[in-house]
A = this chain, B = another copy of it.
Amino acid sequence: MAEMKIIVQKYGGTSVGTSERIKSVAQRIKKYIDKGYSVVVVVSAMGKTTDTLIALANEISLQPDKRELDMLLSTGEQVTIALLAMALHEIGIDAISYTGSQIKLITDGNFSNAKIESISTEKIMNSLKNNKVVIVAGFQGIDSDENITTLGRGGSDTSAAALAAVLKTRDCEIYTDVDGVFTADPRVVPNTRKLKEISYDEMLELARLGAGVLHSRSVEFSKKYNIRLHVRSSFNYEEGTIVMPREEMMEKFVISGITSKMDESMITIRDIPDRPGIAAKIFDIFGQNKIYVNMIVQSTGKDKLASISITVRKSDFKKAMDLCESINKDFKAGGVQSKEDIAIVSAVGVGMLSAYGVAGKIFSIMSEHGINIEMISTSEIGISCVIDSMYAELAVKALHKEFIGPEQK
> Which A residues fall within an 8 A CB radius of B?
19, 22-23, 53, 56-57, 59-61, 64-65, 67-69, 71-72, 74-75, 78-79, 81-83, 85-87, 89-90, 96-97, 99, 101-102, 146-148
Report yes or no: B75 in contact with A90, Cβ–Cβ below 8 A: no
The minimal Cβ–Cβ distance linking A27 to chain B, given in whole angstroms, is 13
Q: Are A86 and B64 in contact (CB under 8 A)?
A: yes
Q: Which residue of B lies closest to A26 (CB)?
A: B60
Whether the pair A56, B97 counts as a contact (CB closer than 8 A) is no
User: Is B60's CB under 8 angstroms from A71's CB?
Assistant: no
Bound-state Cα–Cα, A89 to B72, Å: 15
- Chain B residues with CB under 8 Å of A74's CB are 78
Are B75 and A57 touching (Cβ within 8 A)? Answer: no
Q: Is B101 a contact of A86 with CB atoms below 8 Å?
A: no
Partner of A65, one of B67, B69, B85: B85
B residues in contact with A64, CB < 8 Å: 86, 89
- Is B61 within 8 A of A79, CB to CB? no
Q: How many angstroms from the CA of A68 to the CA of B135 in the assembled complex?
A: 11
Establish whether residues A83 and B72, one from each chain, have CB atoms under 8 Å apart when the complex forms.
yes
Please name the residue on chain B nearest to A97 by beta carbon.
Answer: B71
Q: Are A82 and B69 in contact, CB atoms less than 8 angstroms apart? A: yes
The contact sample of 5 A-B pairs, CB cut-off 8 A, is A64-B86, A68-B83, A72-B83, A75-B79, A101-B146
Contact of A83 among B60, B97, B148 (CB under 8 A): B60
Name the CB-closest residue of B to A46: B56
Report whether B68 and A82 are in contact in the complex, using a CB–CB cutoff of 8 Å.
yes
Question: Which B residues are CB-close (under 8 A) to A148?
Answer: 99
**Partner of A82 from B57, B78, B82, B101 at Cβ < 8 Å:** B57
Q: Out of B61, B78, B147, name the residue touching A89 (CB < 8 Å).
A: B61
* Distance, CA A189 to CA B140, complexed state (A): 52
Looking at the assembled complex, report how far the CB atom of A12 sits from the nearest CB atom of chain B, in whole angstroms: 19
- How long is the Cα–Cα vector from A253 to B90 in the complex, in angstroms? 54
Quick check: B71 and A57 within 8 Å, CB to CB? no
A64-B86 Cα distance, complex, nearest whole Å: 6
Query: Which B residue's beta carbon lies closest to that of A62?
Result: B90
Separation of A19 and B62 alpha carbons in the complex (Å): 13
The smallest beta-carbon distance between A250 and chain B, in angstroms, is 41
Residues in chain B near residue A81, CB distance under 8 A: 71
Determine how close the nearest CB of chain B comes to the CB of A68; give it in whole angstroms: 4
- A84 CB, min distance to chain B CBs, angstroms: 9
Nearest-neighbour CB distance to chain B for A367, whole angstroms, equals 54
Q: A146 is contacted by which of B59, B75, B96, B102 (Cβ under 8 Å)?
A: B102
- Please indicate the chain B residues that have their CB under 8 angstroms from the CB of A61 in the complex: 86-87, 89-90
Are the C-beta atoms of A56 and B68 separated by less than 8 Å?
no
Partner of A79, one of B53, B83, B85: B53
Chain B nearest Cβ from A320, distance in angstroms: 29
Assembly CA distance A390 to B87 (angstroms): 44
Q: Is the CB of B22 within 8 A of A90?
A: no
Docked Cα-Cα span, A233 to B67, in Å, equals 30
A68 touches B90 (CB 8 A): no
CB-defined contacts of A56 to chain B, threshold 8 Å: 19, 79, 83
- CB contacts (< 8 Å) of A22 on chain B: these are 60
Could you say which of B23, B59, B78, B96 contacts A60, with CB atoms under 8 Å apart?
B23
With A19-B56, A59-B19, A71-B97 known to touch, is A65 a contact of B79 (CB < 8 Å)? no
A99 contact set on B, CB distance < 8 A = 71, 148
> Which residue from chain B places its CB closest to the CB of A74 in the assembled complex?
B78
Query: In angstroms, how far is the closest chain B Cβ from the Cβ of A385?
Result: 44
**Given the complex of chains A and B, what is the CA–CA distance between A250 and B20 in angstroms?**
59
A101 contact from B67, B90, B101, Cβ within 8 A: B101
